[in-house]
Amino acid sequence: MFQTLFIYLSLLVIMVFLTSFSAKVKEEDGTYLFKNALNGPILVLMVLFSVIFGMRYNVGVDQMAYIKEYESLKLFNITGRETEPAFTLISNIFSHFYLHFSLFFTFLAFIQIFILILTFKNYRDVLPYVVMTFMLGCVFLTFMNTIRQQIAFCFFMYSIQYIRSKQPFHYFTFILLACMFHKSAILLFPIYFLYKNKSSYFNNLKLQLVLLIIALIILYVNVFENLFSSLDTLMAIFGYDQYIDIVNKDDSLLFSMDRQRGMGFYVLLMVDIVLISNSINIKQYFKDTIFPIIYDLYFFGVIYGYITNGSILLSRPNDYFIGFKFIVAAFSLLYYFRKKENSTKDKMLYYLLIVLYVLIFAGYMFRMKENTAFFTFFWQAG
């Protein structure tokens, strides 16, 4: 337990410090140090993150499957399933040289953190908050488990800037690259056309709150159970076939009437309410950034997430949308921080959001031996 807390909290402090330092330091030509995404402090951050999480073991069901398949590829040149071209290529290169799986995972973690940092190259002020919510929200656990889809998500996140700048070739290139890590990213191709002539959609707070309430009602009455139970073929098409066998053994994994809603559920719900409550003002404040599009995708993910709550299979495509939650929280914290001296309300929301994220972190740590938060180095596995 001490090892887990020490590593996570130390990494949190180091990451926030290094991003804050790079955001404030100016070089001789007057540009900020962070303008160069590969400056010393940021490079240290990326290497440190990658090495630490590359050495993690038993992050979750998916990671253990990755280890089994990688070891099979390394020893027998066969795997239990086919994967997308880019991931297959990386796997083949590392296994060809008989490299330890920790180096394989280190490289994959580096891809993730590098793209995350690169996405916010032009938004240096928000990056410290991005890494803060990334760590406190334990998003890194998902990144280290559902690895292929999270790499695809990172490429999607980076491509958002090309939606805003109306550069379809660049956008579709990065989505194609995302598909080469997880074919479910094919779902993301139409998104460009949604924003071709419109900068954002969810600009009415009352409508958002009504949609949220409807989604919560659907969550409790479970009206779509029969509809969702027939979607296994569609899920297989998008690359989630490995979950179909699990679902067939236990239908509750597809859509369960018995959905647990403990304290953690309500903390996450409170985070959504805080993020949504002032979203119109925050969108306006960051209207010249990628935030409005990111917020729309996040809000769609919120609604879809509550409707499909309890379904492992149906929630996986939502990673591309609800995955932006920590980004929306980071922009919101920056907004509240900048405005807190002028508004008691913004100051209270700033600290409330931080407290909620601390509670999320504490919840994961409290159950670290039951979930995948417990930090185990590969050499400690026995």
Domain coordinates in residue numbering, the chain = 2-380
Percent of the chain whose predicted confidence (pLDDT) is above 90: 47
Q: What is the pLDDT of residues 108-119, one digit of tens each?
A: 999 999 999 999
Average pLDDT over residues 269-288: 93
Residue 365 CA neighbour count, 13 Å, CB half: 18
Q: Following CA atoms 138, 229, 153, 351 in sequence, which dihedral angle do they give, to the nearest 10 degrees? A: -40
Tokens at residue 175, please? 């989505």
**AA identity, residue 225:** E
Burial class (CB in 10 A: 0-12, 13-18, 19+), 231: middle
For position 257, what pLDDT does the model report?
43
Q: Using CA of residue 24, residue 30, residue 35, residue 38, what is the dihedral sign?
A: negative
Beta carbons within 8 Å of 170's beta carbon, 6+ residues apart: 159, 162
DSSP class of 186: G
Intra-chain end-to-end CA distance of the chain, in Å? 17
Average pLDDT over residues 8-13: 93
Band of pLDDT at residue 96, cut at 50, 70 and 90? confident
Q: What is the pLDDT of residues 226-277, one digit of tens each?
A: 555 555 555 555 555 555 555 555 444 444 444 567 788 899 999 999 999 9
For position 63, what pLDDT does the model report?
85
CA-closest candidate to residue 119, choices 110, 108, 104, 130: 130
Measure the CA–CA gap between 45 and 53, rounded to whole angstroms.
12
**AA identity, residue 112:** Q
Cα–Cα–Cα angle for 61, 62, 66, rounded to 5 degrees: 120
For position 77, what pLDDT does the model report?
73
Measure the CA–CA gap between 84 and 94, rounded to whole angstroms.
16
What 3-state class would DSSP assign to 26?
A: strand
Q: What is the pLDDT of residues 189-221, one digit of tens each?
A: 999 999 988 888 999 999 999 999 999 888 877
Is the per-residue pLDDT at 37 higher than 60?
no
Q: What is the pLDDT of residues 342-370, one digit of tens each?
A: 677 778 888 999 999 999 999 888 877 77
Measure the CA–CA gap between 116 and 134, rounded to whole angstroms.
10
For position 253, what pLDDT does the model report?
46
Tokens at residue 227, please? 């509809």
For position 36, what pLDDT does the model report?
56
For position 225, what pLDDT does the model report?
55
For position 226, what pLDDT does the model report?
53
> What φ, ψ does residue 32 adopt, rounded to 5°?
-80, 150
For position 111, what pLDDT does the model report?
95
378 or 341, higher pLDDT = 378
For position 218, what pLDDT does the model report?
83
Measure the CA–CA gap between 190 and 172, rounded to whole angstroms.
10
Band of pLDDT at residue 316, cut at 50, 70 and 90? confident
Band of pLDDT at residue 20, cut at 50, 70 and 90? confident
Q: Determine contact, residues 73/90, Cβ cutoff 8 Å.
A: no
Is the per-residue pLDDT at 286 higher than 50?
yes
Is the per-residue pLDDT at 68 higher than 90?
no
Q: Using CA of residue 4, residue 9, residue 14, residue 15, what is the dihedral sign?
A: positive
Q: Determine contact, residues 284/335, Cβ cutoff 8 Å.
A: no
DSSP class of 259: -
Average pLDDT, the chain: 84
For position 82, what pLDDT does the model report?
75
Average pLDDT over residues 154-167: 94
Q: Determine contact, residues 54/105, Cβ cutoff 8 Å.
A: yes
For position 168, what pLDDT does the model report?
94
For position 202, what pLDDT does the model report?
92
150 or 230, higher pLDDT = 150
Measure the CA–CA gap between 300 and 294, rounded to whole angstroms.
10
> What φ, ψ does residue 332 adopt, rounded to 5°?
-65, -45
For position 330, what pLDDT does the model report?
95
Tokens at residue 129, please? 């908050």
Residue 7 CA neighbour count, 13 Å, CB half: 19
347 or 171, higher pLDDT = 171
255 or 139, higher pLDDT = 139
For position 139, what pLDDT does the model report?
93
Measure the CA–CA gap between 134 and 11, rounded to whole angstroms.
11
Q: What predicted TM-score, i.e. pTM, was given to this entire model?
A: 0.88
Average pLDDT over residues 91-114: 92
Q: Determine contact, residues 82/56, Cβ cutoff 8 Å.
A: no
Average pLDDT over residues 6-30: 80
Tokens at residue 159, please? 């491509």
Average pLDDT over residues 9-38: 72
Average pLDDT over residues 60-77: 83
